[in-house]
Amino acid sequence: LSGLVVAIDGTSGSGKSSTSRGAADRLGLRYLDTGAMFRAMTWWLLDQGVDVHDPAAVAARCAEPQIVSGTDPLAPTITVDGTDVGVAIRSDAVNAAVSPVSAVPEVRARLLDLQRAVIAAETAEGGIVVEGRDIGSVVAPDAPVKLYLSADPGARAARRAAEQGGADVAATRESLLARDQIDSGRATAPLVMADGAVHIDTTAYTLDEVIGQVVALVEDAE
């Protein structure tokens, strides 16, 4: 599987992360969570007291933080200026601010460079599963395998609330839908189904079943 890039895009809570990690593990590939990079940027801006709803203020500062992603699918890591932010980037404050931050073109350009550097380094060695919103459309448009995962909002909210240790399902649903709307509506690299992507609606499947479908698609493409 040397040099292989598997692009996995989809809405918030569609099962992208668990599927991407599981498939990477089974296929012996590395893993990059680009959402974690946007979350890390957002965490840093909030920590610095930058107004995340002011695109000019965000653009002016977004070159500063050093964001480093570990690519082990069984233990992905993310640091900002050497600090492990793996837990901090899942907070409600980051959830509420990450989509406005991710809509700022300068943020996207900065993280695109970092993402392409990780992909280049990993594909020189083996292959990588990359998950996000614009992987098949912008980050890795030549990826030989592209997937678009979706699920109905009720299922997504129930899964995400359970992951967060029994958070309120209705509030989680609103938060997911608000992010989807901003992510799909932005001008730069909106969430779209990329040309050539295979669409999997995960609503009716278990995680293992979806991972099995992804593994089969990758093996077919080889």
Element (H, E) at 96: helix 92-102
In angstroms, what is the minimal distance from the CB of 96 to ligand C5P?
Answer: 11
In angstroms, what is the minimal distance from the CB of 101 to ligand C5P?
Answer: 8
In angstroms, what is the minimal distance from the CB of 95 to ligand C5P?
Answer: 8
In this structure, which long-range contacts are made by residues 137-142, counting pairs with CB atoms below 8 Å and at least 24 apart in sequence?
Answer: 137/9, 137/189, 137/192, 137/194, 137/195, 138/112, 138/189, 139/7, 139/34, 139/112, 139/115, 140/5, 140/7, 141/194, 141/195, 142/5
**SS percent in the chain: helix, strand, coil, step 5:** 50, 15, 35
Q: Toward ligand C5P, which CB reaches closer, 120 or 216? A: 120
Q: Which residues, including other chains, have CB under 8 Å from residue 105's CB and lie 6 or more apart?
A: 59, 187, 188
15 is in an annotated binding site: yes
Binders of ligand C5P: how many residues, by CB under 6 A?
Answer: 13
In angstroms, what is the minimal distance from the CB of 31 to ligand C5P?
Answer: 13
Q: Does the protein bind ligand C5P through residue 183 (CB under 6 A)?
A: yes
Q: Toward ligand C5P, which CB reaches closer, 122 or 183? A: 183
Q: Amino acid letter at 212?
A: G
Cβ atoms of 3 and 188 within 8 Å: the answer is no
Q: Does the protein bind ligand C5P through residue 172 (CB under 6 A)?
A: no
Q: Which of 12, 123, 172, 175 binds ligand C5P (CB under 6 A)?
A: 12
| Phi and psi torsions of 150, nearest 5° | -140, 165
12 is in an annotated binding site: yes
Q: Which of 129, 179, 210, 218 binds ligand C5P (CB under 6 A)?
A: 179
**Residue range at the interface with ligand C5P (CB under 6 A); choices 44-52, 53-61, 65-73, 132-140:** 132-140
SS3 readout for 148-164: EEECCHHHHHHHHHHHC
Q: Which of 31, 71, 134, 160 binds ligand C5P (CB under 6 A)?
A: 134
Query: What residues line the site for ligand C5P (CB under 6 A)?
Result: 12, 34-35, 38-39, 98-99, 102, 132-134, 179, 183
The binding site for ATP comprises 10-18
